[in-house]
Amino acid sequence: MPRAASTTGKLKVVIQPRDIRIFELLYDFRLLTADSIAQLAGPVEEKVARDQYRFRGGREAIIKRLKLLSRAEYINCIKKPGQKYIYTLAKKAADVLAQQQGIPIEELNKCLDLQRRSERYFEHALMVSEFHTMLALAVAQRPGLKLLNWLNASEQLDTYVSIPPEMLTETVRPWKAQDQVNLKLPISPDAVFGLEDEEGKFYFMFEADRATMSNKRFLQKMTAYYYFWKLGQHSDWSAKNRINPDGEAIKHYRVITYTTSAKRQENLVNTTLQAMPAGEELEMFWFTNQEMVDPEKPEIILKQIFSIARGDELDQMYSILE
């Protein structure tokens, strides 16, 4: 792979293959702490599906390199009170990825937009990245398990579900305006991903909840996901967006909500129970929270730390691999 030279003032940086790996990580995950980059990019004994992210060099060497790339303005380093250093892609690194990896500029611009968004948006993106990082690391440690497409939120993924009036429940009916034939609710996941093991493929809509959304708005989101599946409107959408890397439509999906605390989780579970008609209990809506995980122990994300919005078993905990 050709190397690109850069000079920033008196600082000269020769872009190496390992730097490209760092840039790819920041493109895939949007924003990462130094420790997360070191874990994702560091050497691992096992050969796993995502080994394109791995190269030689220990944690200290990687952190030193991050500082150099930041000084050379390839990546941004952000420090917020009470948080670790957070790195994001800068324009110079985006240009390298466009030129050497062929990533479309419009996709790279979504990473650069992080610098221009609100504080609330930034914190939300950090929560999405936290879950994504733990999941990627946990999967890398589990032989036979693969993380399929992780697709971050985008206008391309955004769609809506159209619900005919005869299917509206008492909870949902008041949301329809009188001039509407069908009720339309938006579908706008924070991410979509799949897992594959020897038993098959499983697909997930992902929502990061920072406890800033009202119960009504959250109920509308969960209701939209329910009818999106119930009416089969997810099939064409999933094929169009290649949710399945093979391009085939997916048959089922689960919705994972990752929230801030056990108390908030309980509230959201009870709210979600209203999204489905009475008596219809599905293993569709899964919940966990930041109190249940530890970024230093990513393998926890695959353990029995999830509850399901199902009236008879609210205290039962499950693994997303079940």
The tokens describing 35, both together, are 């420790």
Among 285, 302, 310, residue whose Cα is nearest residue 139: 302
- The structural domains of the chain, with segments of one domain joined by +, span 5-116, 127-308
**In the predicted model, is pLDDT for residue 317 greater than 90?**
yes
Residue 125 near residue 152 (C-beta atoms within 8 A): no
Q: What is the pLDDT of residues 280-296, one digit of tens each?
A: 778 999 999 999 999 99
pTM: 0.88
Looking at 74-83, 256-265, 295-304, which range is the least confident one?
Answer: 74-83
Residue 257 near residue 286 (C-beta atoms within 8 A): yes
Pairing of strands 285-289, 307-308: antiparallel
CA distance 304 to 322: 9
Q: Would the CATH topology of 5-116 be identical to that of 127-308? A: no
**156: number of CA atoms within 13 Å, CB side?**
13
| Domain 5-116 -> CATH class | mainly alpha
List, in sequence order, every residue forming a beta bridge with 202; answer none if it has no partner. Answer: 195
Q: What is the pLDDT of residues 112-159, one digit of tens each?
A: 877 667 778 888 999 999 999 999 999 999 999 999 989 998 878 899
- CATH topology for 127-308 is Trna Endonuclease; Chain: A, domain 1 (3.40.1350)
